[in-house]
Structure 1
């Protein structure tokens, strides 16, 4: 009986330490967004949002400043507070509703590079004290720039809730007596195909696969309202054929062009044997209400990296990319697998293309370690 109890305890510990991947989420509270990825690393980000004209190429207003809190899941999940501005600033430039912000200089790091200044700390007790000074305020002033604080507490409470910290000593908003050990373990990132070099195709094979795809999928292409037959427009779109493995290739077919980005259709085409060119299924998490979550075959500004075999897209909500999203997929021999994703709905912040992570995988983490 004792051995049986030990066995069950051992299996429970294994299960507790290998939590399954979580469902990514993206929510907004006032001027703050809160994004939690599939391993429950969460990012709360506040900034002046400039969504009145999403086609504008103008930079975000009010000094291009953002403040974010990034925290990993689990009892000992690392936490960081980071204030970023597109201009130099010092600690004496920081005020909450006109009152000087009280910060311990020795607990913070302030750097400036390429005109971008960043103030950051990774000490949990310092982050908690910082939040305490902000949570009842209206505006964090950074020189001539600012970060609205409406929605901060709600966003951080959402982070605490998703990571299982509410009512515990590690919570940022609704603290309590529960110990850090009561916080659930961080989910493990899902497996995904490792990076691999794309198969090299001859010019003749590329031409054959492209012509075959256009002919076999003519009706599908027509239904997508593609204007790729306009030669002037087609020359601006991403079109190409790349080897996935010895049996399959991927065809990117330029579809339509907007003001500053184009769309392409993605097809998987057999290089040998039976089968027909088929629209690719490119999975993506459902983040916004009303989104169907369909695994579509149309992507924006796609790129295929032949060195790693990675298909990526990059959608800009405005011309300077202060909002938008990106994906990365890899072929596993049968289908494309999502390996990475970023997303930001509200337009603004200090840097273009600097969007919260919504999905990560073991393959992506391996590649980051190699860099």
Structure 2
């Protein structure tokens, strides 16, 4: 897979796709450990930093690496090998080292890491796409299709969009909280019942709690708890006026990718949410499987009128070495 974010930082990532640690077998029925991933991450611009990274959920050494059965030739002095929290990571950041690494892999079919593998078909196409998106094709900084164009011909990286300033949540009294909840339940009863959220669904087991937070002097955020699934729960999110005219409305939570659970006009269903009262940052964490080898996360911040996306990660295919370790699709500049 390959992903580039809004400032053209690109990442190509290879892994065996599946739902368990052991998720495939070789032709002779030998189990393959799927908790391995290979990635190349590069910033945009003429001097964009590049990194090659191989990660596994078990210890390994350079001598354990093979391409189609043949030893992978790496200069130990040019690579860092570390193990932390059960994850071993081999990383190289010198451009010439990464280019030489790609050259050894691009014509292979399988990278073996002890009993783990990464299939290499598609690697050249993904790296070529990264080069194309960043304007490197035909130049000295390209990974695949190199040429005579100098590094200065590579376009600069786009500027990071600014994120709204942080704001602490306003503490609301119990009476106001009760009023806002009752008002929203009254005006949004149909939606709450349809999504099985809030106290209107008293017969539903395992509902998450309802939370009320003051966004500013004019608006409040209400999170109505919905049904709790096997490994994650969801809430329905509303922005409710504290003063003036208006009605409680489902919160608009922008995302560049449609994620499962986003119901559009039927309300904003948010999974495994958290609201940071110190900064006014609202986050979710959607797991596509219990071990979170695929899924999505967002961060939004209130700007006084609506929620603004400040960060997003996403990975559709399940696999890799670390839970929640998904490519970044959107980032912003903290204020």
Normalising by structure 2, what TM-score?
0.91
Residues 1:43 and 2:11 aligned together? yes
Structure 1 residues 241 and 292: CA distance shift in structure 2, 3 A: closer
1:245 maps to: 216
1:221 Cα offset (Å): 2.6
Structure 1 residues 338 and 126: CA distance shift in structure 2, 3 A: same
Distance 1:216 1:296 in 2: 13
2:87 maps to: 116
Tell me how many residue pairs correspond in the alignment. Answer: 324
Structure 1 residues 232 and 340: CA distance shift in structure 2, 3 A: farther
Do the aligned partners of 1:302 and 1:311 also contact (CA within 8 Å) in 2?
Answer: yes
2:249 maps to: 278
1:233 Cα offset (Å): 4.6
How is 1:13-24 mapped onto 2 (pairs within 5 angstroms)?
A: none
1:259 Cα offset (Å): 2.5
2:75 maps to: 104
Do the aligned partners of 1:282 and 1:295 also contact (CA within 8 Å) in 2?
Answer: no
Do the aligned partners of 2:206 and 2:227 also contact (CA within 8 Å) in 1?
Answer: no
> What are the ranges of 5 or more consecutive residues in structure 2 without an aligned counterpart?
24-31
2:46 to 66, 75, 80: 75
Structure 1 residues 233 and 76: CA distance shift in structure 2, 3 A: farther
Distance 2:107 2:207 in 1: 50
1:258 maps to: 229
Structure 1 residues 40 and 285: CA distance shift in structure 2, 3 A: same
2:172 maps to: 201
1:319 to 290, 313, 318: 290
> What are the ranges of 5 or more consecutive residues in structure 1 without an aligned counterpart?
1-32, 52-57, 367-371
Deviation digits for residues 51-85 of structure 1 (CA, Å, limit 9, x no counterpart): 6xxxxxx4463331111100000010000001111
1:215 maps to: 186
1:261 Cα offset (Å): 1.8
Distance 1:144 1:228 in 2: 51
1:243 Cα offset (Å): 1.0
1:204 Cα offset (Å): 2.1
Distance 1:322 1:220 in 2: 31
Deviation digits for residues 182-238 of structure 1 (CA, Å, limit 9, x no counterpart): 111100111121222111112222222111111111123344465864447565425
2:328 maps to: 357
Do the aligned partners of 1:166 and 1:175 also contact (CA within 8 Å) in 2?
Answer: yes
SS in 2 for 1:362: coil
1:348 maps to: 319
Residues 1:332 and 2:332 aligned together? no
Distance 1:214 1:60 in 2: 47
Normalising by structure 1, what TM-score?
0.82
Write 1 or 2 for the structure with the bigger share of helix.
1
Residues 1:93 and 2:64 aligned together? yes
SS in 1 for 2:181: helix
Do the aligned partners of 1:238 and 1:302 also contact (CA within 8 Å) in 2?
Answer: no
2:127 maps to: 156
1:246 Cα offset (Å): 1.3
SS in 2 for 1:269: strand
Question: Which aligned runs of 4 or more in structure 1 are off by greater than 3 angstroms?
Answer: 58-62, 222-236, 291-296
Residues 1:188 and 2:188 aligned together? no
Do the aligned partners of 2:206 and 2:228 also contact (CA within 8 Å) in 1?
Answer: no
Do the aligned partners of 2:191 and 2:267 also contact (CA within 8 Å) in 1?
Answer: no
What's the C-alpha RMSD, in Å, of the aligned pairs? 2.1
1:138 to 87, 109, 114: 109
